Chain A
């Protein structure tokens, strides 16, 4: 028995050491081999300032929204948000029709909201091979259709997401073109990759691809501010996406790959017909938000208002392009239904004050326990200290986003953590008064108090679970943070108040003869 408690003590000490290491303010993080992980406190918006926006699908309630459409929207917004250079953005689908975006520590909330809401502008531009070669890796270019961009319509916003191999555009009736396909690789969002490519100033992949025949590589993410490229040429806009009647992804005539078939409105068909007739063999730039998303070669004049973009697409590629042509890049229109901005000073102040309050609360409890329960009280205080350290370490490791109510939940859980010890010690005293021997009284205290500890804490956990669900479904991260910290606190407190305190008590009993000193137990 004695040995087993020493074993437990060692385990507890190791755990405590690990927790203390994690809690250290200058924790270097965990870097073992390929495993890379920073260990630090993730502070919520209310503590460090920032922006929180809840976007909703702007369609009538009757229109059903598919879950994968929401995922696409989320992915696109994520890319847009990443481009803003925010350290830990949160983008998540909340419920069936909403997306929650949190941007901690953002300097200019107005600009961020604009970037997220930005309406996509689809343009067909005149593009020479030289233009294509000169194009930066980010695919950004300038067109003469600039003025109207500042007045966004209610149309869905857009960001280029995907890109191209070599593509051609031809009338719906003509034979499939025999263009070669040069696939570009960066359809995945990989900001680092993008940065590297951008730094390699000379050998731009886009240029290579263009020389090889056609097309371009375009970076995945949207940027709010265009890169300072050397005096970009302003390209002529032939027409905008408003002239598109319909777009579908379909199997090509050979039946081996997919293509994108489009139909134009009468006006557009006229303009497009005129342009393609005089530019056969040249490149048509399809530009979304001033970023090239596709650069097919014009095979033939498209005069009937019906055309196809081919390029040995897979279904996904064809569909992505079709969706971009149809909606900009967001498959669904969005509107802001809720937004919150917290200035940085308010949060700093709250954090400091809450921390002070937490320390004071902890100190008062520790004092109370030591005075009222004597020796077991002091041991419980040790366990309480371990509890606070362990919980905080978990916050950093998981990580749990710390919000103001989250801290309140944590501070509150300190009170709850003590409750288990209070229950046990009161029980122990009763058994001692009933004349039981000390060791028996300790064990009885634990075993008899257990059912009430179990049931009361389980009911708290049930409430936490419901709160968490409540917070999660409608994007109330405040409520979610609170329930998560409280639940974690309850679980950790069960461990420290029961296992740890018990181990301490037995070890102290083993080393000192306390049976003659019941006063140490406050009896």
Chain B
């Protein structure tokens, strides 16, 4: 039979291999926050002439209007998106008019967003609250659903650790991609992250459910063998479900257009991480806990693993 649990520290290491660079990236570059969280304005316009002006020209136009912190991003050849300090409708209209005369092209507004700074800060706070609340709700539910099993709360905690793992992976990847591709953390990213949390737990529960069931069937079996057996039994399902979700996400990524690309990529990374962590992290954590292996972690003693 496939030995997964006995190699658990290898898998933990693999997780760290992804998470640590991500967190380093996060520490170095931080998360580029979208105006959803910082407050500000976003103006996305299309130049009918098919030629968007140089970013520097647009920034200087903004400066002439006394609008600071303008940041221009090109999207295709004829579209640009400008982030700046908050501007109101009237200023936006004057800016668009000025663009039309300065750059000699009809300009149509694709998107205009204005977020007050207080709202942004509040969104960030609420988001943290929502994640915390979701974690708590799930912990309580798992503890309840596994109440018949000894140490039910361990299952809940292990699921939460796996969830934190997935959040760390997603945020780390986002920090790196954000730095290189100019992606920003916005409300959609937050939605994706919360979905990943839901999925992560969804997957973990399927594995845990099998452990729960097997515990009543194979009462004599050593816990480590039992967990490994349960993982292997659910492996087909884990991979197949993973595949179907990946199919839909890949379809969205390839054909779904630019608007959702960031969102879908985050989901793709998160869903993959969710399946990985449920198999290779969540269930093995139960064994680490059962054996209280942390007592040997820092003593340099070899770790005992079942044959």
Contact = CB atoms under 8 A, between A and B. Distances in A.
Interface in B162-213: 187-188, 190-191, 194-195, 197-199, 201-203, 205-206, 209-210, 212-213
Interface string A353-383: 1101110111011001100100000000000
A467 B130 contact: yes
Contacts of B245: 412, 415-416, 419
Contact of A337 (B116, B138, B254): B116
Contact of A340 (B90, B114, B126, B138): B114
Interface string A435-457: 00000000000001001100111
A341 interface: yes
Contacts of B243: 368
Chain B interface mostly: helix
A410 to B, nearest CB: 10
Most chain B beta carbons < 10 A, residue from A338, A414, A448, A464:
A338
A109 B188 contact: no
B122 to A, nearest CB: 6
B150 interface: no
B264 to A, nearest CB: 7
A193 interface: no
A322 interface: no
A462 B141 contact: yes
Interface stretch (A122-130, A227-235, A468-476, A501-509): A468-476
A109 B201 contact: no
A466 B133 contact: yes
Interface in A313-349: 336-343, 345-346, 349
B255 A357 contact: yes
Given A338-B119, A361-B251, A452 B195 contact: no
B256 A346 contact: no
B254 A467 contact: no
Nearest to B138: A459
A459 B201 contact: yes
B252 A336 contact: no
Contacts of B304: none
B244 interface: yes
Nearest to A467: B194
Contacts of B110: 342-343, 345-346
A452 B133 contact: no
A350 B112 contact: no
A197 interface: no
B16 interface: no
B257 interface: yes
A341 B109 contact: yes
A337 B188 contact: no
Contacts of B126: 470, 473-474
A257 interface: no
Given A459-B138, A463-B195, A340 B112 contact: yes
Interface string A411-440: 110111011001100100010000000000
B233 interface: yes
B240 interface: yes
B244 A365 contact: yes
B237 A414 contact: no
A459 B198 contact: yes
B93 A360 contact: no
A149 interface: no
A338 B86 CA distance: 9
Nearest to B130: A470
A361 B248 contact: yes
Nearest to A415: B245
Contact of B264 (A368, A408, A418): A408
A241 B112 CA distance: 35
Nearest to B140: A462
A422 B134 contact: no
Interface of A: 46, 54, 56, 109-110, 113-114, 336-343, 345-346, 349-350, 353-354, 356-358, 360-362, 364-365, 368-369, 372, 404-405, 408-409, 411-412, 414-416, 418-419, 422-423, 426, 430, 448, 451-452, 455-460, 462-467, 469-470, 473-474, 476, 478-479, 482-483, 486
Listed from nearest, the 7 A-B pairs whose CB atoms lie closest are A463-B198, A353-B257, A361-B251, A452-B209, A415-B245, A361-B248, A337-B116
7 contacts: A340-B111, A345-B46, A361-B251, A404-B259, A422-B244, A456-B201, A463-B198
